[in-house]
Chain A
Amino acid sequence: MWEYANPKRFMGWTAPVLPWAFGLSAVCLTIGLIWGFFFTPVDFRQGSTVKIIYLHVPSALMAINAWVMMLMASLIWLVRRHHVSALAAKAAAPVGVAMTLIALATGAIWGQPMWGTYWAWDPRLTSFLILFLFYLGYMALWAAIEDPDTAADLTSVLCIVGSVFAFLSRYAVNFWNQGLHQGASLSLDKEKNVADVFYQPLLFAIGGFVILFFALVLLRTRTEIRKRRIGALQRREG
């Protein structure tokens, strides 16, 4: 497996995968969002705001999973000193920020009519906001340190610390039985899961967000590898 993460091999196998990944994510997102927006009924309690679920749930899921992916890549860097894994973690951060921003914005827009407020210092919302700030801090740390290996070391440590909040963002509702945010929308228990009529388009939307995340991380990792190569060439010349 590690040979595919060699920079040259990575550039080779990702080039043909990228158009398919972007295409598949566009198809899944189009199906999920059009199905959800145009062809699902309104909820008897939430009215048409239930349609926000097709954006909020997938983006919140990916906001947390992006950090988990960064954590794994950071651990690989710390243990194996594998440069592509450090660059993949760096590449994933702006995508994670975008996902977190969508989750926070759609949650606030949904919260105003349903809870009567855009924001509450609820355990899940607060841990999500802290996760967002960790994303920004992580990117700022990469930008602030010139030596790439030192930057990778320090950002990996920050990523491990921030994982607490990624974990809390997911499980805060279970730990503290207080606050406004409801439990998970998706469950293996059919009784607790959202109704099928909402569930099926939601699965497409989640699939679209997951594949889009994967495609963006590949694209941005390729960019980071090229930047690293430009730096090496400039040092050799200079």
Chain B
Amino acid sequence: MPDLGKYAAEVLLAYGVSLFILIGIVVLSWRQSQRTKRDLDAAEAQCNG
């Protein structure tokens, strides 16, 4: 861990918040994509069946 001096809290908070938002948008997008894919497969199966 580098020595962040008296601004350690600010730097760590900035990294924490940013990584939370970045990981959040990736996970949400991925989960939404998987859910929609399943729904489309089900809808197509219903149409074909």
At the interface, is chain A mostly helix, strand, loop or mixed?
helix
| Total number of B residues with any Cβ neighbor in A under 8 Å | 32
Q: Does A52 contact B (CB under 8 A)?
A: yes
Closest 8 CB pairs of A and B: A48-B4, A98-B25, A55-B18, A226-B36, A109-B14, A233-B43, A52-B14, A106-B14
Interface string of A227-238 (1 = CB under 8 A from B): 101100110110
Known: A55-B14, A105-B14. 16 other contacts (CB 8 A): A29-B22, A47-B5, A48-B3, A51-B11, A55-B18, A95-B25, A98-B22, A101-B21, A102-B21, A105-B21, A226-B36, A229-B40, A230-B39, A233-B43, A233-B44, A233-B46
A220→B15 contact, CB < 8 A: no
Per the bound structure, the CA–CA distance linking A56 and B18 in Å amounts to: 9
**Per a CB cutoff under 8 Å, which of B7, B21, B28, B37 touches A226?**
B37
With contacts A94-B25, A226-B36 taken as known, whether A113 is within 8 angstroms of B7 at the C-beta atoms is: yes
Per the bound structure, the CA–CA distance linking A112 and B13 in Å amounts to: 12
* Neighbouring B residues of A212 by C-beta, 8 Å: 22, 26
Q: How many A-B residue pairs have CB under 8 A?
A: 98
Interface string of A86-120 (1 = CB under 8 A from B): 00000000110010011001100110110000000
CB distance from B1 to the nearest CB of A (A): 8
Per the bound structure, the CA–CA distance linking A212 and B30 in Å amounts to: 13
CB distance from B12 to the nearest CB of A (A): 10
Jot down 5 A-B pairs with beta carbons below 8 A, ordered by A: A49-B7, A106-B14, A216-B29, A229-B40, A233-B46
* Neighbouring B residues of A55 by C-beta, 8 Å: 14-15, 18
| Total number of A residues with any Cβ neighbor in B under 8 Å | 39
B10→A109 contact, CB < 8 A: yes
Per the bound structure, the CA–CA distance linking A37 and B46 in Å amounts to: 52
For B30, the closest partner residue in chain A by CB is: A219
**Per a CB cutoff under 8 Å, which of B11, B21, B37, B40 touches A52?**
B11
